[in-house]
Amino acid sequence: MIYLDNAATTLHKPEQVIAAVVEAMSSMGNSGRGTHGGSLAASRTIYSAREKAAALFGCPRADHVAFTCNSTEALNIAINGGIPAGSHVISTDLEHNSVLRPLYRLEREGRASLSFVPADRQGRIDYADFERLLRPETRAVVCTHASNLTGNLVDIARVGAFAREHGLLFIVDASQTAGVFPIDMEKMGIDVLCFTGHKGLMGPQGTGGLCLREGIDIRPWKVGGSGVQTYLETQPEEYPTRLEAGTLNGHGLAGLAAALDFLQETGLAAIHQKETALMRRFYAGVSAIDGVTVYGDFTGDRAAVVALNVRDYDSGEVSDVLAVDYDIATRPGAHCAPRMHRALGTAEQGAVRFSFGWFNTAEEVDKAIAAIREIAA
C-alpha cells in the first residue's frame, strides 16, 4: 500500500517506537502506584516522555506536560476547563471539529460567545481580523497551527503576540504540525499547546497531551485516582496530576518517548525538508493535470497536505478508486473541517486529501500523480 493519509495518522512508525511499546508491555507496572520495580519503570519512562515533550515544545516545566489520549481530549480539557464562563472566544475557519465542537457546546450552553476569523477561497486568513473581532469580554483565542484540510499554516507567533497584548488565553491545536515544525511556547506566546502522539510525532495512537504555561488555571473535567493524597476529597491541584486522573496509557507513552527520541535524532528540519519536498513534488505534478482542482495556498511554508478534486467527481469515489485500483490510501469527504470546506466551496463535493510523511518516497508520489492523471483522463 502507498500510504498517503499521514494527516489522519502516521501508519508507519520508527522501529524503536514499536520496540519500546513491546518492551513496556512486558515490564511496566502502574506509574505512581508504589516503589516496586514495575511501577518505578513506568514512572521513569513517563517522566522521560514529559521531559522530552517539554523540550520539543519549549514548555518551561516537564511537570506541566499532562498526558491525554489525543488532541481532542487535550483540547476539551483546555477549552472546557480554561475558558471562564461568559467569555467571548476568537477562533478561525481553519479549525477541526476537535476545536469547533467543544466551542459550539460552550456557546449552546450559554457559557461563551464565539467569533471566527474567516478564510478565503484559498483557505487564507487576514490577521487584521483578530483585532476586528476583539470585544471587551474576549478572554481566549483557540487556533490551529495548520489546517488539516489544506495544509495552510497559521502564523502562531503573530496570533500569540495579539493574545498576549490583550491578555487573552491562547490555546493552540498542534495536531498537524507537532514533530515537523518548530514550536516554542515561550517565544510564540502559547498558554496551552495541545498535541497528539500518533501523527507527526510518529508515536502510538492513544497518546497526546497538553503543555501548560506556568500559572495557567485549568479545571479538570475528570477526577479520581492519582496515587497521591488519597484522603483528600478533591483532585490534587498540582500539575500534571490535576489533569491525569486514572491510569495513564503507560505502554503508549513508552512508545511516545521513543518517538520523541527518534525526532531528536533525526531532526525536525530534516523531517520538514523531506515532507515538504514530497508535498511540492506532488503539487507540481497534479496541478498540471487538466481537470484537477487543488485547494490551499502554496506560496509559502505549509504542512505536507494537498487536497484536490478531479472534475466534478465524488471525492469518495475517487478515493475508493485510488484504494481499490491503485492501492493508494487517501482521505475523502469532509475531514471533520466543516467551516474550512464551506470557505473553499467544497461542502458538497468534499475533497481528496493526500498527506505525506517521513516514510514516503518520491517514487510513491510519482505513482500517485500517475494515478490522478489516469482518473482525470
Partner 1 sequence: MREKTMKLVVTFPSTSAAMAMEKYCKESQAPGRLIPVPRAITAGCGMAWMALPGERPLLEQVIRDHGVTAEGWYELML
291-320 positions binding partner 1, by CB under 8 A = 310, 313-320
Whichever of 39 and 309 has its CB closer to partner 1, that residue is 309
Within 9-139, residue ranges assigned H as helices are 15-24, 37-57, 71-82, 97-108, 128-133
Contacts (Cβ under 8 Å, ≥6 apart) of 141: 89, 90, 91, 130, 159, 162, 163, 168, 169, 170, 171
347 binds partner 1 (CB under 8 A): yes
Does the footprint of partner 1 cover residue 327 (CB under 8 A)? no
Cβ closest to partner 1, residue 55 vs residue 347: 347
Query: Is 86 near partner 1 (CB under 8 A)?
Result: no
Residue (of 7, 1, 4) closest to 302 by Cα position: 7
Residue closer to partner 1, measured from CB, 111 or 367: 367
332 binds partner 1 (CB under 8 A): yes
Q: Is residue 179 at the binding interface for partner 1, with CB under 8 A as the rule?
A: no
* CA angle, 263 then 252 then 329, to 5°: 70
Sketch the per residue contact string, 251 through 290, with partner 1: x for CB under 8 A, - otherwise: ----------------------------------------
Q: What is the 3-state secondary structure (H, E, C) of 71-107?
A: HHHHHHHHHHHHCCCCEEEEEECCCCHHHHHHHHHHH
**CA–CA dist 176, 45 (Å, integer):** 25
Cell matching residue 46: 513517563
What does the longest C-alpha to C-alpha distance in the chain come to? 70
Instruction: Select 313 or 359, whichever has its Cβ closest to partner 1.
Output: 313
Work out whether 334 is an interface residue with partner 1 (CB under 8 A).
yes
How many angstroms separate the first and last alpha carbons of the chain? 23
Measured CA to CA, the distance from residue 332 to residue 9 in angstroms comes to 15
Q: Does 9 bind partner 1 (CB under 8 A)?
A: no
Binding-site member from 349, 353, 356, 369 for partner 1 (CB under 8 A)? 349
Nearer to partner 1, 157 or 376 (CB): 376
The set of cell numbers assigned to 354 is 493526500
Q: x/- binding map, residues 10-29, to partner 1, per CB under 8 A?
A: --------------------
User: To the nearest whole angstrom, how small is the minimum distance from the Cβ of residue 207 to partner 1?
Assistant: 21
Single out the segment in contact with partner 1 by CB under 8 A; choices: 13-21, 43-51, 261-269, 328-336: 328-336
Residue 123 interacts with partner 1 (CB under 8 A): yes or no = no
Q: How far is CA 184 from the centre of its chain?
A: 15
205 near partner 1, judged by CB under 8 A: no
Q: Should residue 160 be labelled a site residue for partner 1 when binding is judged by CB under 8 A?
A: no
> How far from chain centre, in Å, is Cα 372?
28
Q: Are 337 and 96 in contact (CB under 8 A)?
A: yes
Determine, following the binding rule CB under 8 A, whether residue 339 of this chain makes contact with partner 1. no
| Residue that has been written with the C-alpha cell 477526577 in this structure | 223
Q: Which is nearer to partner 1, 269 or 347 (CB)?
A: 347
Does the footprint of partner 1 cover residue 6 (CB under 8 A)? no
Least Å distance, CB 127 to partner 1, is 30
Residues that bind partner 1 (CB under 8 A): 310, 313-321, 325, 332-336, 347-350, 375
